[in-house]
Structure 1
Amino acid sequence: MKRRITTLIAAALLLTVTAACGAREEPRVRADGSVDLSQVTLRVGDQKGTGLQALLTAAGQLDDVEYKVTWSQFTSGPPLLEAINAGSLDFGAVGNSPPVFAASAGAKIAIVAVSEKGRGGQAVVVPAGSSIKTPADLRGRRVAVAKGSSSNFHLLAVLKKEGLSFGDIQPQYLQPPDALAALSSGKIDAWAIWDPYTAQAQAQTKARILIDGEDYTNGFEFQITGRETLADPARTAALGDWVTRIRKAHRWANDNQDEWTKVYSELTGLDPGIVGTAIKRSSFKDLKLAGDVVEREQLVADAFSEARLIPAPIKIADVVDTRFDAILENPS
């Protein structure tokens, strides 16, 4: 009797597991290969510097989404990509450096889309009364930067042009909120950062831009997913729609800067003046990955490798997936 009961329980458990798996997986991809997007959840990472949720909300691109979207907030790109690699996120937008650091560390990520933004808000800022007048004056100074961020490369490029290296400064690896506090209290001499933090430092601490990103860095904002996500046809179908929505939102933001400023300010709590300054110097230009993006981004990867700031050299082409490039040709 005990053996029969045990057998029945095991069979019941097997049926329960099978039914659960079927409920989770089968309805999403139909027999004809089409996808029921209502059964899909896309897990998206966001950060204040990209404001993706605010952008899509402002542009009305979240109004009729067929699939479910969950959001997680991050202070910068590197921890966001760690979450994608760990399988807890499906998508996120980051600057030019986080994918380099992540790929060099063996992260299973893929760049699936890219836009280029204005570089005026990518800057090294110093306190208003600072004796630092030129980039050469950074020698020996305490410079805050988020490790692996786009500002990490900007700072590297600025130093290199002056014949300096990270060994010639005192790098302070801080996330943006901590760096802003350190700048305000005089604990650091300079801060390499991006908008809207640059605009925030200017407005709240009267910081002065020592050097911006023009002539030093690209303005790439990469849209990243995990290899595991791309292996799932249902989530990949949702991603194709998601990338389309982002590109529509970019066009809307470029054409409606005042409304974009208003909504971004309301959703983030940032002062409209700060947001407006950032938006005016951060317009979007969507690009194909199959163009010269890989070649330009390889320069970033090579610079970090030469400076021995990443574990191993990488080939950007190995982490690029161009399947969504066609959306630029037919964005509707």
Structure 2
Amino acid sequence: MSRIIYSWLLFPLILGLVLAGCGESALSSDSGSSGGGKVVRIGYQKGSSSLLVLKSQGTLEKDLKQLGYTLQWTEFQAGPPLLEALGAGSIDFGTTGAPPPIFAQAAGADLVYVAATKPSPKTQAILVPKTSDIKSVADLKGKKVAVQKGSSAHALLVQALEKAGLKYSDIQPVYLAPSDAKAAFEGGSVDAWSIWDPYYAMEVAETGARVIADGESAGLANRSFYLASRKFATEHKDAVDAILKALEGAEGWSEAHRDEVAKLVSSQTGVDEAVQREVEHRRVYGIIPVSDDIVREQQELADLFYSLGLIPKKINVRDAVLPEYQH
């Protein structure tokens, strides 16, 4: 647990590396237009289906061009490094699961929530190898579990352990990014892996890994959030509103065209199309305002992380919510 606190306390150094392009967390940067003027920089992940639909179709680029903006996309392995980049000012807008903004806010990042998604509890899971003797979460006592620190899968692990009657200290968390966790999992140096889609679906398809818990069985909502730097959200509300409008359209279209979404996303990420179809068919679509209930949900998660010593201080989630994006 001390490692995760230490990492977040050192995140200004990490931010500098992100800005310098020295880390592997920012996987790629693709400028939607080479024109000058105002630029909107969006961070996404392999699981950011709606943003990937917009990227593939070029819809958002056209909408923002009408407002005088050009568009730049950057891919990240996970939510925590994406928000490190947001805090550093190298991107303006992005999407992550519920825990990353909590960890970022606790580390002093000046971000704001601008929208939420409907919960998708089945899109993350705790996996064990096909031949493992581990049959349930209770069997994880004393075992090594790989997880991306501060990610949605971290919340799943915490919640699943609590529901099984285990303490977080009953396991040995091994904090690894997805690519490193995959190698550790398949190499046998960890006993289990808490991970989200599409990595979850990919691992099951490739190795026959077994699921011992998912968000539904753990009682975890597992919703995502769209976030922006406070400066960008307040000074470029027209751009934020255009992005959210485009995302609403993409979510509606995607719900009715799941197989087409899988094809589009696969072409952007390299994830096998059949695997991506599995992801899209268990995903719940819908973008919604950040309601009081959602703020309370986030606050409960933040308080849980603090009680476990996973974040260095208490936070007030509402401090990161602007009134114009709350209903």
> d(CA) in 2 for partners of 1:90 and 1:83?
9
Structure 2: gaps (5+ residues) = 1-35
The gaps in structure 1 that reach 5 residues or longer are: 1-37, 327-332
* Bigger-Rg structure (1/2): 1
Aligned to 1:157: 159
Q: CA deviation at 1:325?
A: 5.3
Partner of 1:189: 191
Determine the C-alpha separation between the residues in 1 that align with 2:305 and 2:97. 15
1:59, 1:252 within 8 Å by CA — same for their partners in 2?
Answer: no
Are the equivalent residues in 1 in contact too, given 2:78–2:177 (CA < 8 A)? yes
Q: How does 1:129-148 map to 2 (within 5 A)?
A: 129-148=131-150
Matched residue SS, 1:323: helix
- Cα separation, partners in 2 of 1:257 and 1:51, compared to 1, 3 Å: closer
State the Cα distance separating 1:302 from its structure 2 match.
Answer: 1.1
Shift of 1:230: 2.6
Matches within 5 A, 1:78-157: 78-157=80-159
Is the counterpart of residue 41 in structure 1 residue 39 in structure 2?
Answer: yes
Deviation at 1:324, TM superposition (A): 3.8
* Alignment partner, residue 200 of structure 2: 198
CA distance in 2, matches of 1:60, 1:72: 15
Question: Over residues 216-241 of structure 1, what are the superposed CA-to-partner deviations in whole Å (9 max), with x where a residue is unaligned?
Answer: 21221111111121342xx3211110
Q: Select 1:208's aligned residue among 207, 210, 213.
A: 210
Report the RMSD for the aligned CA atoms in angstroms: 1.8
Say which SS state the counterpart of residue 44 (structure 1) adopts.
strand
Q: Determine whether 1:293 maps to 2:291.
A: no
Q: Is the 8 A contact 1:96 1:222 kept in 2?
A: yes
The corresponding residue for 2:316 is 315
The one-letter code sitting in structure 2 at the alignment partner of 1:229 is F
Does structure 1 residue 168 correspond to structure 2 residue 166?
no
1:81-122 residue CA offsets vs partner (Å, 9 max, x unmatched): 111111111000000000100011111111111112421121
TM-score under structure 1 normalisation? 0.83
The number of aligned residues is 288
- 8 Å contact 2:87–2:110 — kept in the other structure? yes
Query: What SS class does the counterpart of residue 123 from structure 1 fall into?
Result: strand
Question: Partners in 2 of 1:133 and 1:262 — Cα distance?
Answer: 34
CA distance in 2, matches of 1:60, 1:90: 19
Give the secondary structure class of the aligned counterpart of 2:244: helix
Kindly indicate whether the alpha-carbon contact (under 8 Å) linking 2:45 and 2:76 is maintained by their aligned counterparts in 1.
yes
Q: Determine the C-alpha separation between the residues in 1 that align with 2:154 and 2:54.
A: 27
Measure the CA separation in 2 of the matches of 1:42 and 1:58: 17
**1:45–1:271 distance in 2 versus 1, CA, 3 Å:** same
Corresponding residue for 2:60? 62
CA contact (8 A) 1:95 1:221 kept: yes
Worse-matched range after superposition: 113-122 or 301-310: 113-122
Q: CA deviation at 1:63?
A: 5.6
Residues 155-201 of structure 1: CA distance to partner in whole angstroms, max 9, x if unpaired? 00111122222211111100011111211221211000111111001
**Cα separation, partners in 2 of 1:245 and 1:325, compared to 1, 3 Å:** farther
Tell me the distance in 1 between the aligned counterparts of 2:290 and 2:136: 35
Alpha-carbon offset, residue 58 of structure 1: 4.7
SS of residue in 2 equivalent to 1:193: strand
Give, in angstroms, the shift of residue 298 of structure 1. Answer: 1.3
Partner of 1:239: 240
One of 208, 220, 224 as aligned partner of 2:223: 220
Q: How far apart, CA to CA, are the structure 2 residues paired with 1:297 and 1:78?
A: 16
In the alignment, does 2:260 pair up with 1:262? no
Q: Any conservation in 1 of the 2:114–2:228 contact (CA below 8 Å)?
A: yes
Deviations 1:228-259 (A, max 9, x none): 21342xx3211110111111111111110011
CA shift for structure 1 position 60: 5.4
